């Protein structure tokens, strides 16, 4: 059973160097800027253009969504570092998809791995998910590495499924399971 109280209301999750907070309209301008960044667009395969008004509307309505979890990543002073989400919730199979995008100034410092770990802890222990899965392009080795460090395993490869800048790319399928996640996190009794 999924624990709806862990999806609505939206939680605040605090880590060592960052905090995951409910995505809201106060994040909209930073979020919109990120959607304009060519490198983020390349790494996430974003083709659509968004207006600021669309992003404001999006951020404003995230708090009311019962079947997904959209959180902003902030430093401990409240500075915007990016956003992440659990989406495509499948209640019968207790699974969901995951996606994340940090702003360029936040990448490469271990913050993504920390944010993903916090979200997975919440997904498995509080929400009650069994499986969290994602897609990542072969052109994004940094994300693949961060996902592996956070506990995702490579499950498959959709060959030449993504066309970007005149080249074909593979889409990699990765997933993390609650059973493996618990095994990877030592319990007090085991330490
Ligand atoms: C993907 C993302 C969340 C990762 O978070 P991050 O904070 O940048 O990553 P971390 O610093 O935690 O870890 C990155 C790892 O990749 C490694 N890495 C960096 N560049 C690499 C490269 N070109 N090839 C292989 N590994 C690389 C780093 O060395 C590090 O591994 P290590 O700790 O073993 O040394 C973040 O970079 C991001 O949001 N990027 C922009 C959007 C994006 O790519 N989203 C994901 C779409 S699927």
What pLDDT shows up at residue 53? 98
Q: Are 22 and 72 within 8 A, CB to CB?
A: yes
Return d(Cα 129, Cα 17) in angstroms, integer: 25
Q: Which atom of ligand 1 is nearest to the CA of 44?
A: 47
Buried b (16+ CB within 10 A) or exposed e, 129-167: bbbbbbbbbbbbeebbebbeebbbeeeeeeeeebeeeee
**Above 70 in pLDDT, residue 190?**
no
Average pLDDT, the chain: 95
- Between the alpha carbon of residue 3 and those of residues 6, 93, 94, the distances in Å are 6, 13, 10
**Above 50 in pLDDT, residue 187?**
no
Confidence of residue 27 (pLDDT cuts 50, 70, 90): very high
- Ligand 1 within 6 A of CB of 142: yes
What pLDDT shows up at residue 188? 46
> pLDDT tens digit string along 34-55?
999 999 999 999 999 999 999 9
Confidence of residue 185 (pLDDT cuts 50, 70, 90): low
**Above 50 in pLDDT, residue 140?**
yes
What pLDDT shows up at residue 184? 56
C-alpha 163 – ligand 1 centre gap (Å): 22
Q: Percentage of the chain with pLDDT > 70?
A: 95
What pLDDT shows up at residue 178? 97
* Smallest CA separation from ligand 1 atom 20, residue: 142
Q: Which atom of ligand 1 is nearest to the CA of 111?
A: 7
C-alpha gyration radius of the chain: 16
C-alpha 1 – ligand 1 centre gap (Å): 33
**Above 80 in pLDDT, residue 61?**
yes
Element (H, E) at 140: none
Q: Are 15 and 115 within 8 A, CB to CB?
A: yes
What structural domains and CATH numbers belong to the chain? 4-134 (3.40.630.30)
- Residue 16, class by beta-carbon neighbours within 10 Å (0-12 exposed, 13-18 middle, 19+ buried)? exposed
């Amino acid at each position: 059973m999924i624990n709806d109280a862990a999806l609505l209301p939206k939680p605040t999750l605090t880590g060592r160097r960052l905090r995951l907070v409910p995505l809201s309209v106060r994040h909209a301008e930073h979020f919109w800027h990120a959607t304009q960044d060519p490198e983020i667009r390349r790494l996430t395969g974003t083709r659509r253009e968004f207006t600021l008004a669309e992003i404001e509307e999006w951020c404003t309505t995230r708090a009311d969504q019962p079947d997904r979890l959209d959180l902003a990543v902030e430093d401990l002073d409240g500075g915007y570092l990016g956003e992440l989400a659990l989406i495509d919730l499948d209640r019968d199979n207790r699974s969901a998809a995951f996606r994340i995008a940090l702003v360029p100034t936040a990448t490469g410092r271990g913050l993504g791995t920390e944010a993903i770990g916090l979200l997975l802890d919440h997904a498995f222990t509080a929400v009650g998910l069994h499986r969290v899965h994602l897609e990542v392009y072969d052109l994004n080795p940094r994300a693949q590495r961060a996902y592996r460090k956070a506990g995702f395993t490579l499950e498959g490869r959709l060959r030449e499924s993504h066309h970007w800048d005149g080249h074909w790319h593979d889409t990699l399928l990765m997933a993390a399971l609650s059973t493996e996640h618990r095994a990877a996190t030592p319990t007090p009794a085991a330490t």
